[in-house]
Structure formats: structure tokens, C-alpha cells
């Protein structure tokens, strides 16, 4: 510790430390240079060994690689006869459905025990006579009729009163007529008496007082006769007024009878209860909903068709024969119901740009089960269905849409090439499959198929696979050939076209020939 305290002020120790620092720096530089030289020497030795080994490697003889043909699937293009299928979709709804509402006010006193959802009820026709038991079985419910029965009884009493009044007026008319007749006889007697008194006054047999008394009696009796005649003339007017009151009372009684009839609620048509809104004991007003009745046997489907599809359907719609529509639960399933195109909306929907076509399905038609392509069950309202309408007949070449690439197709052709066999110079001509790119014209598309308008004549083998690596002139190997009826080319449930079989084509040709002969 003494040397440390003395070192800063001691000149001997300060000179020794200053001389030691340059020696350390030179040693560090020398070690760095030596390590760099060794690294360079090692790298140079490794490079020299690599060159020596690479020079001693034997040369590899390259063999010519043979071009391997590309395996592809092809489609045989053929001219096909088919019917265009116009497809759409819609939701089935009952042709007849009504919400039964109360037509009178009152408390529900009776309700049918089977007034439940799913229960069928038959309508009561006006020309059908049923007893009380059968009417009760068909009655949905009853609204308390007692107030209306009392009003109807009062109307009947008023009618009876008016009838009695008419009888009284008729009797009064008879009595007045009889009184007038007697009064006229008395008037004739009084006229004779007056004439006799006047003659007696002229002969001084009677006095003026007798003549005045005779005139007074005659005038008084004439006044009575005039009153009787006036009464008789008023009786027809009184009778007419009574008849009008009788007609009004009868109309009121009929109105009350109609109201009374409405207290017994019946089904307006044969149907099935689809909803119930009331229960026994509830007070209802006129207009309140009681139940909903649906006719499930005649079902209507509004199908939305595009304007283009409707334009192609107009030619068929103008014919007198009904247009058959096949209906399926979805796009990929077989048709399950057969319907008829019955009417069309007069205008297109501005939002969806579609035209509503209405298809009717009769669930009671026995031909439904025979014509359906799959298991048949009744079409219920509310079901979503896919409609297929058979349109015009066409004849064209159809190919899968995947085969058309930028307006062209690859066609496989047979090509003869020279081939050397063995080590000799023997050369033979062999056939190979080689692709050729052809420009084609396309037309209408039908789901997975497209119509070829020009460029193909039929019978060509069109490549379907490996189109992304295929080039013009490449050699290929055909591993499978498909037609339009092959599985995967045309789905079993195609919604765009229906192929026509050879028998249908022959029958169509025969029918056209028969029509031309008839003309």
C-alpha cells in the first residue's frame, strides 16, 4: 500500500509503465497477422484439393431422353337432339286459403272438439240438405245467438202487428163501403122528402119550416156521406204505408236471420285447418280472426323466370296445349311433381328483372304418381321447389364448358411419324396421337355444357384434362373417351336441357311427315 501511494509521485515507476504499453500493442498486431495468414493458407489448400478431385472425376455420358406422351381424357363431339329446359324456382302456396273471421259480435259458446291444426272440414253447400247432427259435425264454432234471436222475435212481432193492421184496414174498407151504400140510400129518401115538402109548400100543404127542416137533414146527411167517402179514400194510403212497414219489418227480420245464421261458423270450402286463433268463452267482435282454412289439394307455385327464358317460352305459351312443368325439391334432385303452366304475370318485376309464371299442381291427380321421376309425395304449401319447363327442340354440338379455353379447343388427331427400330437404319411409319388447337364459335350455355356453332363437324376427340399444360402439337395418350351421356358429362338431373332419345327423334320425324302429308 505504501508503494501504491508513492507510485504517482515516483518518476522511476512512471517510466517503466510507459515502456510496457507499446510492447503489448506490437504483440497483438503480430498475433492477428499470423492468424490471417494461417486462414488464407487453409483456404488455399482446400481449393487445391477440390480442383484435384474434380479433375480426377470420370466424365458421365448423357443419354437422349425420350419425350413421354401426356395422358389425357377426351370427349367425343357429336350432334345431339335435345329440348331446352327453362328453369326457375318458387315457393308453393295453396290456391285457396282464407282466414275465417267473425261476422257478428258475441261470446263463443260452442267450439268443435276437432277444431285443431291439421283437421279437415267439409263445406256446407246451399243445395245440400243436412240434419241437425250433420250440421253440428260441420260447424267450426258458434257465437252466442240469444241477443239476435230476441231481436228476430221482436221483428216477427212487428210483422204480426202490421198484418193485423192490414186486416183491420181491409175490414174498415168493407164497413165504410157498406155505410156509404146505406147513406146513399138514405140520401135518396131525403131528396124525395125534400121534393115532397117543396111540392106541399107550393100547394100550401106544408110550411116553410118543413122545407127548411128537410134541407137541413139532407145537408147533414150529405156531410156524413162525404166524410165516409173521404175515409174510404184514405184507407188505400194507410194500407200502402202499412205494407211498406211490413216490407221493412220483413227485411229487418231477414237481416236478423242472416246475422243469426252467421253465429254458426262453417267452412266456406273443403279444406284443412292450418291455424286457430280463439278458444271457447272468448268475446269476439265482427272482423276478429277465428281460424285459417287451407285447401292443400290444389297448390300454386309462382316461378320466377328470367326475361330471356320467358322470351324463349312465349312460342310454346301461345299454343293451345298445356305446358307441362316438372318440379323438384332442389336443383340436383329428380322431378317429384308434375304441374301445368296456367298463367303469367303481365309485367316483369323491376327489382329482380324476372317474370312470374304460375304453375298449378293437383295433388289429387292420379297421374302424379305415375309421371313423377322419384318417390311421390303430395306437394305441401310453403315448400320451396325448383321448376323445369321443357322448351324448344334444338339440334347442335354440345361440349363441356371446361374444354373451351379462350375461344378454342384442343382436338386429338392421328399423325404418322417415322420411327427407327433397333440399332439398324430400319425406319417405320407409326401413328401417334397429337393435339391440335382449333378456334370455335360458341352459343348458348346449358349448365355444364356449351353449344358449338362453328369449328367442329362432329366426331372430334376434344381434350378435357390437363388443359393448363397442353400446347399445340404435343403428343398425348388417350386414357378414356367420354360422350355426353357419360357420367359426369351430363348430370342425371340436368336443369338446362333434356336429351332426346333416338326413338323420340324418329317419332318426331314421323309426326312431322304425317303433318306435311295432311297439309
DSSP 60: P
pLDDT at 171: 92
What values do phi and psi take at 141, rounded to 5? -160, 170
DSSP tally for the chain: helices H, then strands E: 8, 23
Q: How far apart are CA 339 and CA 388, in angstroms?
A: 10
Q: How far apart are CA 378 and CA 341, in angstroms?
A: 18
Cα 219 to chain centroid distance, Å, stands at 92
- Is the distance from CB of 467 to CB of 70 less than 8 angstroms? no
Residue 446 burial (10 A CB sphere; 0-12, 13-18, 19+):
buried
Q: Give the 3-state secondary structure of 247-315.
A: HHHHHHHHHHHHHHHHCEEECCCCEEEEEECCCCCCEECCCCEEEEEECCCEEEEEEEEEHHHHHHHHH
Please state, in angstroms and as integers, the Cα–Cα distance from residue 257 to each residue in 100, 157, 412, following that order.
Answer: 20, 14, 88
Architecture of the domain defined by 83-93+295-393: Beta Barrel (2.40)
User: Cα dihedral sign for 447, 448, 454, 460?
Assistant: negative
Instruction: Answer yes or no: are the C-beta atoms of 77 and 453 closer than 8 Å.
Output: no
Which has the closest alpha carbon to 271: 380, 92, 140, 121? 121
What's the DSSP call for residue 68?
Answer: P
- The alpha carbon of residue 285 and the mean position of all alpha carbons in its chain are separated, in whole angstroms, by 34
Q: What is d(CA 332, CA 354) in angstroms, rounded to the nearest whole number?
A: 22
Q: What is the CATH number of domain 96-144+263-294?
A: 2.40.50.100
Q: What is the pLDDT of residue 333?
A: 80
Neighbours of 334 (CB within 10 A): 13
Is domain 70-81+396-510 in CATH 2.40.420.20, yes or no? yes
**Beta strand 139-143 pairing with 264-266:** antiparallel
CA distances from 124 to 85, 96, 261, 458 (A): 44, 17, 13, 66
pLDDT of residue 25: 81
Coil, helix or strand at residue 376: coil
pLDDT at site 376: 66
Query: Tell me, what DSSP letter sits at residue 425?
Result: T
Strand-strand pairing, 264-266 and 289-294: unpaired
Q: What is the mean pLDDT of each run of 10 residues along the chain (519 residues)?
A: 40 49 78 86 84 71 62 90 84 92 94 91 67 73 92 91 92 90 87 85 82 86 88 91 91 91 90 92 94 92 86 70 84 84 87 89 77 69 89 85 91 77 60 88 85 90 90 89 78 64 50 45
Confidence at residue 301, expressed as pLDDT on a 0 to 100 scale: 93
How far apart are the C-alpha atoms of 161 and 156, rounded to whole Å? 9
Cβ–Cβ < 8 Å for 407, 370: no
pTM equals 0.58
Amino acid at each position: 500500500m505504501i508503494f501504491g501511494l508513492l507510485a504517482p509521485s515516483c518518476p522511476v515507476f512512471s517510466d517503466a509503465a510507459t515502456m510496457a504499453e507499446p510492447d503489448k500493442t506490437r504483440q497483438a498486431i503480430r498475433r492477428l497477422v499470423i492468424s490471417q495468414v494461417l486462414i488464407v493458407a487453409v483456404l488455399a489448400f482446400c481449393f487445391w484439393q477440390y480442383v484435384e478431385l474434380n479433375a480426377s472425376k470420370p466424365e458421365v455420358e448423357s443419354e437422349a431422353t425420350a419425350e413421354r406422351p401426356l395422358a389425357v381424357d377426351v370427349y367425343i363431339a357429336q350432334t345431339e337432339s335435345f329440348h331446352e329446359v327453362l328453369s326457375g324456382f318458387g315457393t308453393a302456396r295453396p290456391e285457396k286459403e282464407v282466414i275465417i273471421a267473425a261476422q257478428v259480435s258475441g261470446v263463443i259458446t260452442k267450439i268443435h272438439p276437432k277444431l285443431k291444426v291439421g283437421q279437415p272440414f267439409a263445406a256446407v253447400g246451399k243445395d245440400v240438405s243436412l240434419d241437425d247432427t250433420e250440421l253440428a259435425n260441420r260447424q267450426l264454432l258458434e257465437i252466442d245467438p240469444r241477443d239476435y234471436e230476441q231481436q228476430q222475435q221482436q221483428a216477427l212481432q212487428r210483422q204480426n202487428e202490421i198484418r193485423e193492421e192490414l186486416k183491420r184496414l181491409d175490414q174498415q174498407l168493407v164497413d165504410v163501403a157498406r155505410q156509404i151504400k146505406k147513406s146513399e140510400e138514405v140520401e135518396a129518401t131525403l131528396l124525395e122528402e125534400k121534393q115532397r115538402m117543396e111540392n106541399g109548400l107550393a100547394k100550401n100543404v106544408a110550411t116553410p119550416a118543413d122545407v127548411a127542416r128537410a134541407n137541413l137533414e139532407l145537408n147533414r146527411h150529405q156531410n156524413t156521406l162525404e166524410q165516409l167517402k173521404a175515409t174510404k179514400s184514405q184507407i188505400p194510403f194507410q194500407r200502402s204505408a202499412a205494407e211498406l212497414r211490413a216490407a221493412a219489418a220483413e227485411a229487418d227480420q231477414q237481416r236478423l236471420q242472416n246475422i243469426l245464421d252467421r253465429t254458426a261458423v262453417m267452412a266456406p270450402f273443403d279444406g284443412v285447418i292450418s291455424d286457430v286463433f280463439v278458444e271457447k268463452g272468448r268475446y269476439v267482435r265482427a272482423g276478429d280472426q277465428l281460424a285459417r282454412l287451407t285447401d292443400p289439394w290444389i297448390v300454386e307455385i309462382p316461378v320466377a323466370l328470367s326475361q330471356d327464358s320467358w322470351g324463349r317460352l312465349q312460342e310454346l305459351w301461345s299454343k293451345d296445349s298445356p305446358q307441362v312443368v316438372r318440379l323438384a325439391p332442389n336443383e340436383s334432385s329428380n322431378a317429384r311433381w308434375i304441374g301445368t303452366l296456367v298463367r303469367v304475370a303481365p309485367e316483369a318485376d323491376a327489382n329482380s328483372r324476372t317474370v312470374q309464371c304460375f304453375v298449378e299442381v293437383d295433388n289429387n291427380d292420379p297421374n302424379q304418381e305415375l309421371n313423377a321421376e322419384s318417390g311421390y309425395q303430395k306437394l305441401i304449401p310453403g315448400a320451396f321447389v325448383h321448376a323445369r319447363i321443357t322448351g324448344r327442340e334444338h339440334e347442335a354440338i354440345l361440349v363441356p364448358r371446361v374444354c373451351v379455353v379462350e375461344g378454342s379447343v384442343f382436338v386429338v388427331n392421328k399423325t404418322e411419324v417415322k420411327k427407327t427400330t433397333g440399332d439398324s437404319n430400319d425406319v417405320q411409319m407409326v401413328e401417334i396421337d397429337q393435339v391440335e388447337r382449333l378456334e370455335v364459335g360458341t352459343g348458348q350455355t346449358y349448365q355444364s355444357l356449351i353449344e358449338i356453332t362453328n369449328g367442329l363437324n362432329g366426331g372430334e376427340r376434344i381434350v378435357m384434362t390437363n388443359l393448363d399444360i397442353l400446347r399445340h402439337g404435343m403428343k398425348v395418350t388417350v386414357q378414356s373417351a367420354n360422350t355426353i351421356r357419360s357420367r359426369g358429362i351430363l348430370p342425371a338431373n340436368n336443369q338446362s336441357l333434356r336429351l332426346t332419345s333416338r326413338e323420340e327423334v324418329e317419332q318426331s320425324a314421323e309426326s312431322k311427315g304425317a303433318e306435311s302429308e295432311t297439309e
